[in-house]
Amino acid sequence: MASSGEEPRSGSPGRAGTGTEPSPTADGAQLDTAEDFEVLEEEEEEEEDLSELPPLEDVGRPPAPPREDAQPSEQDPQEWLDVLGSGLLKKKTLVPGQGVDTRPRKGQDVTIRLKATLEDGSVVEENPALTFTLGDCDVLQALDLCVQLLEIGETALIVSDAKYCYGAQGRSPDVPPNAALTLEVELLAARDAPDLELLSGKEKTELANRKRERGNFFYQQGDYVLAINSYDIALKVIGSSSKVDFSPDEEAELLDVKVKCLNNLAASQLKLDHYEAALKSCNLVLEHQPGNIKALFRKGKVLAQQGEYREAIPILKAALKLEPSNKTIHAELSKLVKKHADQKNVETEMYRKMLGNPSGAGTPGKCKDKLPWSIPWKWLFGATAIALGGVALSVVIAARN
């Protein structure tokens, strides 16, 4: 389908915890079996945040009650730290680092050495120098939560439940569903992220695309809140001010990524029933590309979910006109037309009841029969009263004379 949207993928290559690239779907990477047009593609650049996201779990929450098998000890680096207090994510220092003052902060770019293994010891990932932005959900959530607790030079062992790794879906072909992972991590470096204002057009596009692809991964995992988070970050990268002049081609590439993020944002917001936010995202796409089929389709679906069939139908007709052979739009439009007809029948019946149910064929006829006679009788009564008044006045005048 000729559209600027992009189907969410199960992961993005070259990033820890992003999975592997899936093969294109049978429908040309445009439709999803779960729902029509499950295609991922700003959050707008205003101060308002459409994401409504709660990103990662707060590692600053109070720890669970002390336990002998999960109580950190400053004297013994071999003790396990229960990071979230639930027993699902634990960290143990193997080699001490350079002190707590060297721990990285959220928003910084960190570089780690990573080795990930399954419970049976199978190695599923090795990376001697993985770099990511801490707190942006660029990697496995287990890493995002635990690396901020590491010191420069520290090597730690992290044991994580599947919830903070690849979840119920796993990662084909090497990580099965609901698989816990053991991560050996060494924090090599931490530095401030680059100034967005100084990035070239190409660098900005690449950074935004990485965030968008991470959002696609979360979308395929069914984690729509984190998907929205990633799209929101990508859109903030695109919308940030710049001190560098971009070429027309770079501007066009940035706009293309922006449209994809907005379309994917709308899809995620629809999944969470955030209809007003999804409608806003669709409208932002249509401001740039009035003929964007996916934005038209999703806007029609949002309006239909809100019961606005009269507004939704013309929008879906416009999308169908752009691509007459699209069966998905045909099916959705047919469904809406039927719902609209049913809605009109219900409203008609309601109005009849409000008006005393004047549905019988004889009622209008009776009214017509009565109407012509009612007016002459009123005039006749008035004329008679005037005549009697005139006669009485004449009698009074005659008597005085």
pLDDT per position as a tens digit, 273-326: 999 999 999 999 999 999 999 999 999 999 988 888 889 889 999 999 999 988
Residue 83 pLDDT: 94
Q: What is the pLDDT of residues 67-113, one digit of tens each?
A: 444 444 344 556 899 999 999 999 999 999 999 999 999 999 999 99
CATH number of 81-192: 3.10.50.40
The sign of the dihedral angle between the CA atoms of 283, 288, 290, 292 is negative
Cβ atoms of 264 and 93 within 8 Å: the answer is no
Query: How is the chain split into domains, by residue range?
Result: 81-192, 201-352
Degrees, nearest 5: CA angle 14-19-23: 100
- Alpha-carbon gap, residue 365 to 386, rounded angstroms: 34
Q: What six digits make up the tokens of 149?
A: 């607790």
Residue 168 has pLDDT above 50, yes or no: yes
Q: Which residues pair with 157 in a beta bridge?
A: 92, 184
To 10 degrees, the CA torsion angle through 231, 233, 236, 238?
A: -70
Residue 354, Cα to own-chain centre: how many angstroms?
41
Half-sphere exposure of residue 29: CA atoms within 13 angstroms, side-chain side: 16
Q: Give the architecture (CATH level 2) of 201-352.
A: Alpha Horseshoe (1.25)
Mean pLDDT of 154-158: 97
What's the alpha-carbon Rg for the chain, to the nearest Å? Answer: 34
